[in-house]
Structure 1
Amino acid sequence: MTFQTPEASKHTSNRAAYAAFTADIERLCRTDPGSRAALRAGLRRDLNHPRTRAMHRLLTHRLPEGCDDKTAQAHYTVAALIAAQPRHAFAPDQEDDENTADEPGTMETPIPRKDGLDEEGIPPEPMPYGPSFGATLGHAVVAKGASMRMSAAESRINLLTRQSLRGIHLHLPGAVNQVRTTSATIAWGQLLADLVDWPYQSGRISRRWLQDFYRLTASADQD
């Protein structure tokens, strides 16, 4: 019998919590326009800004118990980004099917890793439950129809991966707006996980974003 280490169990629990949080925010935005407006008002705002006051009522009980300000800010930022999507993004046909939500086979399958330790001798990261934002930008470049120019996407990914904690929260909305003009989708749970870890693992997360981006755009025409 295989047992998870305490660290692996914690990562699994965190992934489930992040996915549940973002799904809950999407449902809230879909069913309550007033709440969506309140969350959207917090875009690019820190926790103490007057415009985030309405967010406290909506998000405080949804935050991880005892979380610090950096973790709370990550949740507030992602909630605001979700709420800032165009109204049609919350169409009724996105409503969860309660009859099939818990059926086998409906959950996302984690992407398996091929390696053991990385080149730095660090244990592998927990398996992602969605593509990184670097992969999202890559998909935006290679998307059929409306797509991002390679030069614009490359400038954006290079800007994002050089940011401090405050900077990444300020610059993400612009990048998300660019992605929305394409058919690329954003894995909100994975983005939340990366923002939570940014204060401690920004270098590693930035490397993964860059590698995912260039892996997908390797064959794209340079403009």
Structure 2
Amino acid sequence: MNSDYILQHADALVKRVSKLIVNEPAARAALRRGVGLAPEDPRMLAAHRVVAPYVPVPTDYDVDRRRAASLWDVHAVERAFYAVAAIMAAQPRSARDQEAEATEEQTGEPQDSEALTEPTPAEESSATKDGKPDRRPNLGVSLAQAVFDKGLNADSTEQRLHLIARQNLDGVHRHLPRLVLYLRSDQVHIDWGILIRDLARWGHTPRHVAREWVQDYHRTLETLTRQAEQKNKNNTTDEEAEAA
């Protein structure tokens, strides 16, 4: 298994769950009960119908290549899929509706595809002005946007990010839902597919993922701040020119 393979399955699950949590209350309730629980917990039984078909498993090729199989903690991969599906279902209704509306605007039709091979709306729309694909945002980027756009306290947000970055697999699943649901209550965008991929990586390279989140938090916040300062500077210059 590699990151692209994980992400392909993750995006497919996100499509499926995004539809279910809007249109099927029973499925939403079954998934929501799983917040903070491991897949083997008996309370997760009803969630398997939705999540299990999308969880990638090692192929015979992976198993034969013992080093490759060891690089991916199969339990961490499975847990990532169930955890994010549960968090998506636990979002406030306003956040769920906002995501559904955004998806319909991007695709021109309601979400109804479950195919693993079709690109997600995030993949389809992620292009810069020069036509090159944007890097999809991880949790660090989302936190920086929340600080800049929503007025979250920068110091406390950074502290919460550092706390999560120090966690082992059990710890990150214990602390993450509250933070993500807090962001979604403010309708801060979360790339669910990327979050699944990163949590899947937490089993074998947690410090790498944590570093990426913290670095991207600071990079994004610095970039947004500079852009705002430059915009204000340009506006001031234009106003002075008009006054003259």
Matched, 1:152 2:160: no
Q: Which residue of 2 aligns with 1:134?
A: 140
Q: How does 1:139-218 map to 2 (within 5 A)?
A: 139-143=145-149, 146-218=150-222
- 1:57 is displaced (CA, Å) by 2.5
CA distance in 2, matches of 1:24, 1:135: 24
Q: Which amino acid aligns with 1:60?
A: A
Q: Which amino acid aligns with 2:24?
A: D
Q: Normalised by the size of structure 2, how large is the TM-score? A: 0.70
Matched, 1:49 2:66: no
Aligned length: 194
* Higher-helix-fraction structure: 2
Q: Which residue of 2 aligns with 1:107?
A: 124
Gaps of 5+ in 2: 60-73, 227-244
- 1:109 is displaced (CA, Å) by 3.2
CA distance in 2, matches of 1:39, 1:53: 10
Q: How big is each residue's C-alpha offset from its partner over 1:30-86, in whole Å with a ceiling of 9 and x where there is no partner?
A: 110110011000000112222212112222223224583321111000000100111
Q: How big is each residue's C-alpha offset from its partner over 1:127-175, in whole Å with a ceiling of 9 and x where there is no partner?
A: 98520101111111001xx431112211111011001011111111111
CA distance in 1, matches of 2:206, 2:57: 24
- Conserved 8 A contact 1:147-1:181: no
Matched, 1:97 2:97: no
Indicate how the Cα distance of structure 1 residues 99 and 174 shifts in structure 2: closer, same or farther if over 3 A, else same.
closer
- Conserved 8 A contact 1:148-1:182: no
**Equivalent residue of 1:44, what SS?**
coil
- 1:181 is displaced (CA, Å) by 3.8
Indicate how the Cα distance of structure 1 residues 197 and 59 shifts in structure 2: closer, same or farther if over 3 A, else same.
same
Structure number with larger C-alpha Rg: 2
**Equivalent residue of 1:200, what SS?**
coil
Q: Which residue of 2 aligns with 1:37?
A: 29
